[in-house]
Structure 1
Amino acid sequence: MTEQARVSVTGLHHVQIACPAGSEDRLRGFYNGVLGLPELPKPPVLAARGGCWFAVGAAHELHCGVEESFVPARKAHPCLLVADVDVAATAVAAAGGAVRWDDAIPGVRRFHTDDPVGNRVEIQEAG
């Protein structure tokens, strides 16, 4: 048996979540308007498919991709790190979103909410 080269993952570029067609403005309102994530332009061939992309810090992205038979992700979720989780919770609540605090991990301040199409999102204070 020959030895194969070992895979060397060097980072994470993006996470994609699903969304229904026509929900882009609501997603922009949440991810950009409430959470302050800058929207990224999609390449034209991909823009034709719908959805929207957002920058998460300097090196990561959150992609919202249209899925024909969309069902919100209730367990799988992105976790977004924030400088001040209380500021984020106030912004989410002010926009009418649920803030479900979770203290299951000692020393980690975090809550869960849902984006406008029902996907679970975790917001955690950067340590």
Structure 2
Amino acid sequence: MSFIFKSIDHVQLAAPKGSETIARKFFGEILGFQEIEKPEKLRKKGGVWFQFNTYQIHIGIEEPFTPAKKAHPAFEVENLDALKMHLNQNEVNFMVDTDLPGANRIYVHDPFGNRIEILEWI
């Protein structure tokens, strides 16, 4: 082939109209992602963008809104136990899953019901 996939540029999750403040609290304050500025031409569409390391998460506005219950991004973390304690302190529910050999992992739902996998390879 004459083309090569290089990386994932971003993952987009959907949220209902007017939910930017809630997204900032969950993704920015609780998960610790850094908010980044959207390009001017895209601001009128609503939503908010975040980044950690070189990865971006775009929270886009969708009407009518339906959360992603099966499709999901998966984030690799270091020290999943500390994250679980942090989530508990912030009253964010998660489900422990032991089905993936070689990984400790949990699932959380963002405030809009989108499923997010978080895992630590052991």
Pair 1:50 & 2:46 matched:
yes
> Runs of 5+ in structure 1 lacking a partner?
none
Q: Which has the higher strand share?
A: 2
CA distance in 1, matches of 2:101, 2:62: 36
Structure with larger Rg: 1
CA distance in 2, matches of 1:95, 1:26: 14
Pair 1:41 & 2:61 matched:
no
CA-atom RMSD in angstroms? 1.3
- Scaled by the length of structure 1, what TM-score is found? 0.90
Runs of 4+ in 1 over 6 A off after TM superposition: none
- Write out per-residue CA displacement over residues 92-124 of structure 1, whole angstroms, 9 at most, x where no aligned residue: 222221110011011201100110111111111
How many residue pairs end up in the alignment? 122
Does the Cα contact within 8 Å between 2:75 and 2:119 map onto a contact in 1?
Answer: yes
Identity %, equivalent residues? 37
Pair 1:23 & 2:19 matched:
yes
Aligned pairs for 1:1-127 (under 5 A) are 6-57=2-53, 59-125=54-120
CA distance in 2, matches of 1:29, 1:125: 24
CA distance in 1, matches of 2:60, 2:87: 22
